[in-house]
């Protein structure tokens, strides 16, 4: 997997004086997101996280009482940050933007956050089906919130007649999100630029949703 940009809360932040303990905790989370996105839940070891974070493994337990607690935090953050990103991108669109265009903008926002911006989101998407149920609770709640944003986009487009009226909106939404999420499994820079992935995805979604 290619490297992702650091989060605003990591050691890279220069916007405020951050306590050392907060910086260390963020560094551990960043490292865990990187390891999870590459090796998955089953393959993630705290020694790997410690190596990436440049810490001794026992130090992790000062900030997280278990491996599962650390994983839970990363998985939740991945979806929460992607939802915030999508909401911000949509809010910046001009008034009167066509509902189908909003969906295509959402396609780009999702893919860029998943593949380019955040290892947290990559980790969350790639490991969603691997976690024990009790570890997934926070992530599952965030999935519902994220799904509501997309449901609103699909409903608006349907009611405006911008997408096909024979579609089951739930199925259409799940098929679109499923295909976007799968990009985390197959995409590497060798397969083409992210710009090309976004353009192909938008054309794919437009063709699937647009009335004949």
In tens, the pLDDT along 8-64 reads: 444 344 455 668 888 999 999 999 999 998 998 989 999 999 999 999 999 999 999
Q: What is the pLDDT of residues 85-142, one digit of tens each?
A: 999 999 999 999 999 999 999 999 999 999 999 899 999 998 888 888 888 888 889 9
CATH superfamily of the 72-209 domain: Tetracycline Repressor, domain 2 (1.10.357.10)
Contacts 24+ apart (CB under 8 A), 13-22: 21/63
Residue 32 has a CB neighbour count (10 Å cut-off) of 29
DSSP 4: -
Distances (CA, A) of 87 to 50, 91, 106, 180, 201: 33, 6, 9, 17, 20
Q: What ranges do the domains of the chain cover?
A: 72-209
Cβ–Cβ < 8 Å for 59, 17:
no
Residue with structure tokens 């083409």? Answer: 192
Q: What is the pTM of this model?
A: 0.85
Residue 13 has a CB neighbour count (10 Å cut-off) of 15
């Amino acid at each position: 997997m290619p490297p992702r940009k650091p989060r605003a809360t990591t050691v890279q932040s220069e916007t405020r004086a951050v306590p050392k303990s907060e910086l260390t905790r963020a560094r551990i989370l960043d490292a865990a997101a990187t390891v999870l996105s590459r090796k998955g839940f089953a393959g993630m070891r705290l020694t790997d996280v410690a190596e990436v974070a440049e810490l001794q493994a026992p130090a992790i337990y000062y900030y997280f009482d278990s491996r599962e607690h650390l994983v839970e935090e990363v998985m939740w953050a991945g979806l929460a940050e992607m939802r915030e990103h999508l909401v911000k991108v949509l809010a910046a669109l001009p008034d009167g933007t066509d509902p189908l265009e909003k969906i295509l903008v959402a396609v780009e926002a999702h893919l860029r956050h998943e593949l380019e911006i955040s290892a947290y989101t990559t980790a969350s998407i790639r490991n969603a089906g691997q976690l024990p149920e009790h570890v997934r609770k926070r992530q599952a709640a965030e999935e519902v919130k994220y799904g509501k944003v997309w449901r609103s986009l699909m409903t608006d487009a349907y009611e405006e007649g911008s997408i096909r009226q024979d579609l089951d909106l739930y199925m259409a939404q799940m098929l679109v999100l499923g295909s976007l999420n799968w990009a985390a499994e197959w995409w590497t820079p060798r397969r083409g630029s992210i710009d090309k992935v976004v353009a192909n995805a938008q054309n794919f979604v437009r063709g699937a949703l647009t009335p004949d």
